[in-house]
Amino acid sequence: MTNYDTIIVGGGPAGLTAAIYSARARLNTLLIEKTYPGGLMMISEHIENYPGFPSGVSGPELCVAMKDQVEKFGAKIEMAEISSIDLTGTNKLISTTAGDFSAKTVILAMGAKPRRLGVPGEKECQGRGVSYCATCDGPFFKGKKIAVVGGGDTAVEDSCYLTKFADDVTIIHRRDKFRAAKMLQERVLANPRIQVLWDSVVEEIHGNPDVDRLIVRNLMTGSRSELKVDGVFVLIGQEPDTEFIGSQVILDDFGYILTDTEMRTNIPGVFAAGDVRQKTFRQIVTACADGAIAANSAEKYVEAVEAGELVAAVPETGLIQDIIGEIPSPISDSTILDATKE
């Protein structure tokens, strides 16, 4: 078993930033990521408001730059799946497909995954016209008619992006106005190739075997109609990727990890950062800030432990009151695909 000062679980912007700060603090640092580092940044075509890039930057370009910076400072990146994790002891234990590891501290930065509609036909047609990533799958719909479900930043911005390929884009949104940034709303409403079905939801997805139509219900009238499409992009937000940690750390009702302002969870030596943490505003830049704070807290914890000091747990009631009192549980159509989204 290989021992570290800090193990970071997840290689999105929060995890990568935490690795940079941990390694610069001379902590022996391991970052575990099941795919390529970068998380959902990797599938973002263009990031407009990440500081330092006046003309914007592509998601993959920013991912590579962050990964290179992590490795420059000496942190190790291991691409592996986690099979089990025990956060309760003084030494935190993590078993992966690449081996077993232990650490004095763990920073949880797993991010979130796309939220599903949960309607008949969605699972059956996934990969056959049902998509959760416009950048990944948009080129497959050249000259086609598609629908986009959602009304947040991601859905609105990606609808504009999809007009590069599709001849016709219909946005289906359950409310009577978008929740996206005003600039994005103006773009989509001015685009002649985009139509909007307000106050509407998708109830069924049909295909044989590829998607060919949707059943849409108007929430105001209750009427149902059929919309013929060649594909549907479900862009209604995310769900935190916290199932595998079970009940070891305190989660809110939506599965997000509760922390204090120093990114500490209820378990001494365990911290959380980025999309996986309960907060109201999810951007690349806020994920990076979380990662930096978590790494700083982890450094202080390691110093205290090595000095033989007793580090008290964050009181459970105090943690929950702090978070709930300051930050309501997030319910959003948007994601953290890039800095313009969420």
Catalytic residue among 5, 125, 137, 275: 137
176 given a catalytic annotation? no
Beta carbons of 202 and 172 less than 8 angstroms apart = yes
Could you tell me what percentage of the chain is helix, strand and coil, using 3-state DSSP and rounding each to the nearest 5?
30, 25, 45
133 given a catalytic annotation? yes
**Using CA atoms, how far apart are residues 7 and 289, in angstroms rounded to an integer?**
18
- Cβ-Cβ contacts under 8 Å for 160 (sequence gap 6 or more): 184, 187, 188, 191, 194
333 given a catalytic annotation? no
Other CB atoms within 10 Å distance of the CB of residue 18: 37
**Using CA atoms, how far apart are residues 273 and 291, in angstroms rounded to an integer?**
5
**Using CA atoms, how far apart are residues 258 and 244, in angstroms rounded to an integer?**
16
Which of helix, strand or coil describes residue 22? helix
Catalytic residue among 100, 136, 167, 176: 136
Residue type at position 316: E
The DSSP element (H or E) to which 170 belongs, if any, is strand 168-172
Any idea which residues carry the catalytic annotation? 133, 136-137
